[in-house]
Chain A
Amino acid sequence: MAADLYLAWNLIVKKYKSQALLVLQTVLALLLLMFLLGRIEFLRWNFESANAFTTQDSYFFMPYHFKPASFDIMDTLAKVYPSLSVENGDIRSLTLWEDGQTPLSALGYNDVILQHCRLPLQEGSWFEDALQNGEVPAISVTGAYAVGDVLSCTQNDGTPLTLRIIGRLDRHAQVLAFKTTGSANAISIEDFLTRPNCDLIVPLASARFASVALTGDDAQPDDGLLASAQILQIPQDELTPQEVAERLRSYGTCVPLTTMVENFRADMTLEMTTYGVLNLIFTVLTLVGLGGNNAMQNMMNERQFVIYYMLGAPQKRVVRIEVLRSGLLLGISFLFFVLLSLFIPSLYPADTHLLTGRVYLQSVGYLILIYLLSSGLFLVRLGRANLMEAYQKEWRE
């Protein structure tokens, strides 16, 4: 076995120029593949996070920018339809100071939002259990905190506050927030999901927050988030979606969440299909490029394998040496890839690609498959064909 490994290694080292090309091709293929699979993973995750929304009777409402100064959606609706139960979903940006010095940014969700958007958690539970000791429950967004961590903070006005982490989002998860860009025509959940620069999600309703901590309507948050966008809940048996849209037309854009989720899913499906097709094209190109080069190397190595056979290696052993060679080459490529991947975060915008362990594994598995496809026939030939015949044919001509 040691001898076989040595021979396999020699096959690579002695032809290092062509093998280096093969390694380069493999590494590039891995990077491209990661890009594709990472994007698909991201889309898939988004697709799933659409499940986080309870869409029944819910509307996204975006008041027009030039609205009457006195306009208040709750007041307006209550005046026109006194019997309606309208709930106002609200999201605010908060700044807290951990240990009185480190700034923590948090998103405050009111009860309506908390109820309608149960973001998929990696660990813990979504604001269910009431906490004692006057602690405020919080969900860690960045993964910087673990479930059970207790943070002592102060608010902007100096009021102390104790937070307890009850859940943790996936490292790549997006959270619900109202984006300032494009949201006037919001028609898809995508306009809600974002990865804001935020550490925590806290319940806005908690009476513990000093009112000054809340970023008010007038104070524009500087992280591209809008506090005044709202999620309304209007029971359907009182007002149909058409009627709701009709009534609110003059005040702002109003879209049923159901529609938004559907649109979002349709978008994601389309994009996933696109990337699926790209993946297919990639596979074919890789097979032609990487697989073709590998196959050519194999052809050029064949004579050497026949020599091994002649000098006393059974055909099975010849096959083993070739398998070792491919394995070593893949190993080297992967090593290079791992080194390169230290820089991957700067190569790939993390927001649009999920580079999870699974993506890495998938990429490697995929490449092994491509090697097998391009080497498979050669291996079968090495193992079964009459090697001397092949050898003779070569120099008879």
Chain B
Amino acid sequence: MGIVTQGLGKTVVLKNGEPLAILQDVSITIEQGEMVAIQGASGAGKSTLLHILGLLDTATEGEYWLDGAPVQHMKKKEAARQRNQTFGFVMQDFALIEDESVLDNILLPVLLGGGNMGKARERAGTLLAQFGLSDFAARRVGYLSGGEKQRVAMIRALINDPPYLLADEPTGALDSKSAALMMDIFSMVRKNWQKTIVIVTHDAGVAARCDRILRLSDGRMLP
């Protein structure tokens, strides 16, 4: 179970027709319940790898097993269902809809997945309270601070109770205090709900808060 890749690669064709290998021969294993950092410099290919793991993008080489099932030839509809049910995403720019309310943002995965909205609303209330955002449900996301936005994004990632959380530079846009709080939240989520967490970051401090660090450089894993 967990995430297993073997010789994963991504090559894109540039506008001038030249192929460019963004990822090469990435073989990793992430066990269930682990909190893993993928660390690397800017441009190393971290985001690309995270997108492939989260079924947002597809690899051009190699293989990827998610919970033991190969995903290379997964139907788009099934991949979308998995993104909705199996993964929660936390992005550097929060990926929230700024002119909608906190609650509407949080419920979006439930709406898209056709889940029970009544139950989800209850769950959202509980999570908001847990993350210190009780009074924020009706507020527009646009008026929130960076730290608050990222906590909203975290609640949205958790609303469908997915086994995996994938985060791309989750502290990249936060001040150090909010960043520290965010990392505490990751640790808490993992401890209380046994989520498998993958955090992509260039920040050594963030990586150090994880169980294990995988290093990526120029599209390749460092030993």
A392: interface (CB < 8 Å): yes
B111 with A6: CB separation less than 8 A:
yes
B76 with A312: CB separation less than 8 A:
no
Q: Inside 8 A of B111's CB, which chain A residues have their CB?
A: 3, 6-7
Query: Taking A3-B112, A14-B99 as contacts, is the C-beta distance between A312 and B80 under 8 angstroms?
Result: yes
Interface string of B80-104 (1 = CB under 8 A from A): 1101110001011101110110001
A313 CA to B77 CA, complexed, in Å = 8
A313 with B97: CB separation less than 8 A:
no
Interface centre among A7, A309, A310, A395 (most CB of B within 10 A): A310
Q: Inside 8 A of A316's CB, which chain B residues have their CB?
A: 76
A313 CA to B113 CA, complexed, in Å = 8
Query: Taking A3-B112, A310-B83, A312-B109 as contacts, is the C-beta distance between A304 and B97 under 8 angstroms?
Result: yes
A293 CA to B99 CA, complexed, in Å = 19
A216: interface (CB < 8 Å): no
A6 CA to B114 CA, complexed, in Å = 12
B31: interface (CB < 8 Å): no
Query: Taking A10-B100, A317-B80 as contacts, is the C-beta distance between A310 and B95 under 8 angstroms?
Result: yes
Query: Taking A14-B100, A395-B93 as contacts, is the C-beta distance between A311 and B108 under 8 angstroms?
Result: yes
Q: Inside 8 A of B156's CB, which chain A residues have their CB?
A: 311
The count of chain A contact residues (Cβ–Cβ below 8 Å) is: 25
A295 CA to B59 CA, complexed, in Å = 31
A307: interface (CB < 8 Å): yes
B121: interface (CB < 8 Å): no
Q: Inside 8 A of B100's CB, which chain A residues have their CB?
A: 10, 14
B74 → chain A, closest Cβ, in Å? Answer: 11
B80 with A313: CB separation less than 8 A:
yes
Q: Inside 8 A of A309's CB, which chain B residues have their CB?
A: 56, 80
Q: Tally of A-B residue pairs with Cβ under 8 A? A: 59
B80 with A386: CB separation less than 8 A:
no
Q: Inside 8 A of B190's CB, which chain A residues have their CB?
A: none
Q: Inside 8 A of B77's CB, which chain A residues have their CB?
A: 314
The B interface, classified by DSSP as helix, strand, loop or mixed, is: helix
A386 CA to B22 CA, complexed, in Å = 15
B32: interface (CB < 8 Å): no
A154: interface (CB < 8 Å): no
A315: interface (CB < 8 Å): yes
Q: Inside 8 A of B97's CB, which chain A residues have their CB?
A: 14, 304, 307
Q: Inside 8 A of B91's CB, which chain A residues have their CB?
A: 310
B89 with A15: CB separation less than 8 A:
no
Interface string of A313-335 (1 = CB under 8 A from B): 11111000000000000000000
A14 CA to B97 CA, complexed, in Å = 10
B184: interface (CB < 8 Å): no
Query: Taking A312-B84, A314-B77 as contacts, is the C-beta distance between A15 and B99 under 8 angstroms?
Result: yes
Closest residue of chain B to A3 (Cβ to Cβ) is B111
B108 → chain A, closest Cβ, in Å? Answer: 6
B47: interface (CB < 8 Å): yes
B95 with A312: CB separation less than 8 A:
no
B57 with A312: CB separation less than 8 A:
no
A282: interface (CB < 8 Å): no
B80 with A314: CB separation less than 8 A:
yes
B76 with A314: CB separation less than 8 A:
yes
Q: Inside 8 A of A32's CB, which chain B residues have their CB?
A: none
A312 with B112: CB separation less than 8 A:
yes
Q: Inside 8 A of A389's CB, which chain B residues have their CB?
A: 57
A313 with B57: CB separation less than 8 A:
no
B51: interface (CB < 8 Å): yes
Which residue of B83, B92, B104 contacts A312 across the interface (Cβ within 8 Å)? Answer: B83
A388: interface (CB < 8 Å): yes
Which residue of A6, A7, A388 contacts B57 across the interface (Cβ within 8 Å)? Answer: A388
A308: interface (CB < 8 Å): yes
Q: Inside 8 A of A308's CB, which chain B residues have their CB?
A: 108, 112
Closest residue of chain A to B114 (Cβ to Cβ) is A3
Interface string of B97-127 (1 = CB under 8 A from A): 1011000100011011110000000000000
A6 → chain B, closest Cβ, in Å? Answer: 7
A148 → chain B, closest Cβ, in Å? Answer: 60
A14 CA to B95 CA, complexed, in Å = 17
A389 CA to B48 CA, complexed, in Å = 9
A310 → chain B, closest Cβ, in Å? Answer: 6
Q: Inside 8 A of A387's CB, which chain B residues have their CB?
A: 56
Q: Inside 8 A of B92's CB, which chain A residues have their CB?
A: 395
A356 CA to B84 CA, complexed, in Å = 50
Query: Taking A3-B111, A6-B111 as contacts, is the C-beta distance between A310 and B93 under 8 angstroms?
Result: no
Q: Inside 8 A of A310's CB, which chain B residues have their CB?
A: 56, 83, 89, 91, 95
Query: Taking A386-B57, A388-B57, A392-B47 as contacts, is the C-beta distance between A311 and B112 under 8 angstroms?
Result: yes
Q: Inside 8 A of B56's CB, which chain A residues have their CB?
A: 309-310, 387-388
Q: List 9 A-B contacts (CB under 8 A).
A: A14-B97, A307-B95, A307-B97, A308-B108, A309-B56, A310-B83, A311-B89, A311-B108, A314-B76
Query: Given A312-B112, A392-B47, 6 other A-B contacts at CB below 8 A?
Result: A309-B56, A311-B83, A312-B85, A315-B76, A387-B56, A395-B92
> Which A residues fall within an 8 A CB radius of B?
3, 6-7, 10, 14-15, 304, 306-317, 386-389, 392, 395
* Nearest 7 pairs of A and B residues by beta carbon: A312-B84, A314-B80, A311-B109, A312-B112, A312-B83, A388-B56, A14-B99
